[in-house]
């Protein structure tokens, strides 16, 4: 038996690439992605990487901002660790020549985004940090890393409770299996559950539901982040306008020029995202049209080249200095419950990036903390692999005759329902209606070899939507990205430190001593 460990990574964003960069050459790594290598949320990330680089900043201040944005639902030990290690990895990128945007003096330019108390966001290519980082990390990969595009992983191979590999479909729909010593899910969140979102269309919650079927825990699914500013033309979202634009002085106004964030929050236009998204939603309910006023930003086209090009393509009159915007689903704070190494509760199954829930983001993610988390967790998972023994060879059972239940509804229908009832503002009546509607859907039984890739995605989306809506119904309070009109306040007396867990077909409330507690209290 070869001593080389074989690891399958599903997904090709920053977390996957950070894992691949760090993993020992004694491992063989197969990165499988269901579309092209470039089909990931990371490629679309305009915002940058948050790291305490300024002389006026500190690790502790970055931690405090993360905890404040997360509404006391974070795991402070994880926050401390990711912020500290993340800064170290960013320094390493600088040393390796990563082209962060710099001042003429060679000092990195630091931008500001919502809920940060100081300038701490590093960017590359102005508003193309994710794409630049993906390309940079890809160029660093060794020959032990193999990239397989158009390999749609549809399920995990589980033998006696341990993950042993994956089931995947090729472009022609043929089913295959591949065994491995460990599987790392880096499949992103579930933006496509909502009509308007900033995600790559391939992000359909697959990793979460594969992990769930394998017995892993899903937590915090009710915490969904809506980005306040998507360029919106004739009611249709065209793409993201980074929060960094507000960091450079843009502000939100209505059709009359009234600044809507004044008096709502001390940080006004740079308040935490959940606060800004709700304020916009409220104004829209009153019939107002919302704009981002960019008049005060000099050299907009040079500072934000991709956003400028998108506005031009969409026919926005840039001379007006106003970009029409509305909010859209951006990020899932919850996900597959993992420890600080990305290990799930299923042996040999890891999750990293947005698919995972480490406790860093709490109930509302601080802007530009996700690339940071991807870098750190990818690297830590790779280091952890060294300690894992090579698995005994087994032939996990998988039948080509396996039958799946496929919901008979369209992706459009489901995303419209989710947007109507489980988006920025929720209440019991709407969530009950939604749950009932989802549960009324009929199913067809299909053999796994006949099921299309779209039907696999739809099955995952439907099952994830049901879990998310059940969590949103159960959490009878408002916190961060979960706002209940019928419970508009935080209820610390009951909910502080509690997580809603989905596991093996059941949902329960779990008290997690590390959530919302001061680290020095439990350390």
On whether the CB atoms of residues 349 and 218 are closer than 8 A, the answer is: no
For ligand SIN, the binding residue among 8, 11, 19, 47 (CB under 6 A) is 47
> What's the min distance (Å) between Cβ of 286 and ligand SIN?
25
Taking CB under 6 A as the binding criterion, the range among 11-19, 75-83, 236-244, 307-315 that sits at the site for ligand SIN is 236-244
Please identify which of the residues 77, 213, 259, 273 carries the catalytic annotation.
273
Per-position x/- string for 291-330, each x denoting binding to ligand SIN as judged by CB under 6 A, each - no binding = ---------------------------------------x
> What's the min distance (Å) between Cβ of 348 and ligand SIN?
31
Helix axes 428-440, 411-421, angle to 10 degrees: 160
Taking CB under 6 A as the binding criterion, the range among 18-26, 366-374, 464-472, 508-516 that sits at the site for ligand SIN is 366-374
- Report the residue closest to ligand SIN, judged by CB: 47
Strand order in the sheet with 27-32: 145-148, 27-32, 5-10, 182-185, 349-351
CB closer to ligand SIN out of 119 and 411: 119
Structure tokens of 134?
């993906």
On whether the CB atoms of residues 101 and 123 are closer than 8 A, the answer is: yes
> Is residue 243 close enough to count as binding ligand SIN by CB under 6 A?
yes
On whether the CB atoms of residues 168 and 187 are closer than 8 A, the answer is: no
- DSSP, collapsed to helix, strand or coil, labels residue 446 as strand
Structure tokens of 431?
């969530």
> Is residue 364 close enough to count as binding ligand SIN by CB under 6 A?
no
> Is residue 13 close enough to count as binding ligand SIN by CB under 6 A?
no
Residue the block writes with tokens 């480490």: 358
> Comparing C-alpha atoms, which of 269, 190, 193 is closest to residue 228?
269
Element at 146 (helix H, strand E): strand 145-148
> What's the min distance (Å) between Cβ of 244 and ligand SIN?
5
The residues pairing with 232 across neighbouring beta strands, listed in sequence order, are 237
Taking CB under 6 A as the binding criterion, the range among 18-26, 162-170, 237-245, 489-497 that sits at the site for ligand SIN is 237-245
CB closer to ligand SIN out of 277 and 385: 277
**How distant is the alpha carbon of residue 512 from its chain centre?**
22
> What's the min distance (Å) between Cβ of 379 and ligand SIN?
19
CB closer to ligand SIN out of 168 and 304: 304
> What's the min distance (Å) between Cβ of 258 and ligand SIN?
23
Taking CB under 6 A as the binding criterion, the range among 136-144, 365-373, 429-437, 448-456 that sits at the site for ligand SIN is 365-373
The residues pairing with 165 across neighbouring beta strands, listed in sequence order, are 157, 179
> Is residue 124 close enough to count as binding ligand SIN by CB under 6 A?
no
For ligand SIN, the binding residue among 79, 137, 156, 244 (CB under 6 A) is 244
CB closer to ligand SIN out of 69 and 163: 69
> Comparing C-alpha atoms, which of 82, 123, 400 is closest to residue 247?
123
Biggest CA-to-CA distance, the chain: 72
> What's the min distance (Å) between Cβ of 365 and ligand SIN?
7
Q: How far apart are CA 109 and CA 138, in angstroms?
A: 24
Element at 86 (helix H, strand E): helix 76-95
> Is residue 272 close enough to count as binding ligand SIN by CB under 6 A?
no
Structure tokens of 337?
């419950």
> Is residue 480 close enough to count as binding ligand SIN by CB under 6 A?
no
Residue 518, Cβ neighbours under 10 Å: how many? 9
Residue the block writes with tokens 């369209």: 410
Query: What's the burial of 128, exposed, middle or buried (CB within 10 Å: 0-12/13-18/19+)?
Result: buried
> Is residue 367 close enough to count as binding ligand SIN by CB under 6 A?
yes
CB closer to ligand SIN out of 50 and 336: 50
Q: How far apart are CA 248 and CA 194, in angstroms?
A: 29
> What's the min distance (Å) between Cβ of 353 and ligand SIN?
13
Q: How far apart are CA 422 and CA 466, in angstroms?
A: 11
> Is residue 368 close enough to count as binding ligand SIN by CB under 6 A?
yes
> Is residue 370 close enough to count as binding ligand SIN by CB under 6 A?
yes
**How distant is the alpha carbon of residue 219 from its chain centre?**
14
For ligand SIN, the binding residue among 18, 46, 293, 461 (CB under 6 A) is 46
CA 123, 128, 133, 139 torsion: positive or negative? negative
Within 205-224, the residues that bind ligand SIN by CB under 6 A are none
Taking CB under 6 A as the binding criterion, the range among 67-75, 179-187, 362-370, 446-454 that sits at the site for ligand SIN is 362-370
Residue 322: active-site member: no
**How distant is the alpha carbon of residue 481 from its chain centre?**
13
Applying CB under 6 A, the residues found at the interface with ligand SIN are 46-47, 242-244, 330, 367-368, 370
Q: Which residues are catalytic?
A: 273
């Amino acid at each position: 038996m070869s001593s080389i460990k074989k690891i399958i990574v599903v997904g090709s964003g920053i977390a996957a690439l950070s894992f691949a960069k760090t993993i020992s050459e004694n491992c063989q790594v197969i990165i499988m992605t269901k579309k092209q290598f470039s089909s990931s949320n990371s490629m679309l990330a305009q915002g940058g990487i948050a790291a305490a680089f300024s002389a006026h900043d500190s690790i502790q201040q970055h931690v405090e901002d993360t905890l404040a944005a997360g509404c006391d639902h974070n795991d402070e030990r994880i926050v401390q660790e990711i912020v500290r290690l993340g800064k170290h990895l960013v320094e390493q990128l600088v040393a390796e020549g990563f082209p962060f945007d710099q001042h003429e003096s060679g000092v990195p330019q630091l931008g500001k985004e919502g809920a940060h108390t100081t300038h701490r966001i590093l960017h590359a290519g102005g508003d193309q940090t994710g794409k630049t980082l993906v390309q940079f990390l890809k160029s660093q990969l060794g020959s032990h890393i193999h990239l397989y595009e158009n390999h749609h992983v549809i399920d995990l191979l589980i033998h006696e409770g341990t993950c042993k590999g994956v089931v995947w479909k090729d472009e022609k729909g043929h089913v295959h299996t591949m065994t491995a010593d460990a599987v790392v899910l880096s499949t992103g969140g579930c933006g496509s559950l909502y009509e308007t979102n900033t995600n790559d269309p391939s992000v359909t919650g697959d990793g979460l539901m594969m992990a769930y079927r394998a017995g892993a825990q899903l937590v915090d699914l009710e915490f969904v982040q809506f980005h306040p500013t998507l360029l919106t033309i004739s009611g249709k979202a065209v793409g993201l306008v980074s929060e960094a634009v507000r960091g450079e002085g843009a502000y939100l106004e209505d059709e009359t020029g009234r600044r809507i964030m004044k008096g709502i929050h001390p940080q006004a236009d740079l308040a935490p995202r959940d606060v800004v998204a709700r304020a916009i939603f409220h104004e829209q309910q009153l019939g107002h049209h919302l704009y981002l006023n960019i008049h005060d930003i000099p050299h907009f086209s040079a500072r934000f080249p991709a956003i400028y090009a998108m506005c031009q393509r969409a026919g926005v009159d840039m001379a007006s200095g106003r970009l029409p915007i509305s909010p859209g689903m951006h990020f899932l704070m919850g996900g597959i419950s993992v420890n600080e190494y990305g290990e799930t509760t299923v042996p040999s199954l890891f999750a990293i990036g947005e698919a995972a829930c480490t406790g860093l983001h709490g109930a509302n993610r601080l802007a530009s903390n996700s690339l940071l988390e991807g870098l750190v967790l990818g690297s830590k998972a790779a280091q952890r692999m060294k300690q894992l023994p090579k698995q005994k060879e087994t032939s996990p059972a998988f039948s080509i005759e396996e039958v799946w239940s496929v919901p008979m509804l369209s992706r459009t229908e489901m995303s419209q329902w989710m947007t109507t009832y489980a988006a920025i503002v929720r209440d019991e009546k709407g969530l009950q209606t939604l749950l009932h509607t989802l549960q009324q859907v009929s199913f067809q039984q299909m053999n796994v070899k006949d099921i299309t890739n779209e039907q696999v995605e739809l099955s995952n989306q439907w099952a994830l939507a049901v879990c998310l809506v059940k969590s949103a119904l159960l959490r009878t309070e408002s916190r961060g990205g979960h706002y209940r009109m019928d419970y508009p306040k935080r209820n610390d007396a009951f909910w502080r430190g509690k997580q809603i867990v989905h596991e093996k077909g059941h949902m329960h409330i779990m008290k997690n001593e590390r959530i919302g507690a001061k680290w020095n209290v439990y350390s």
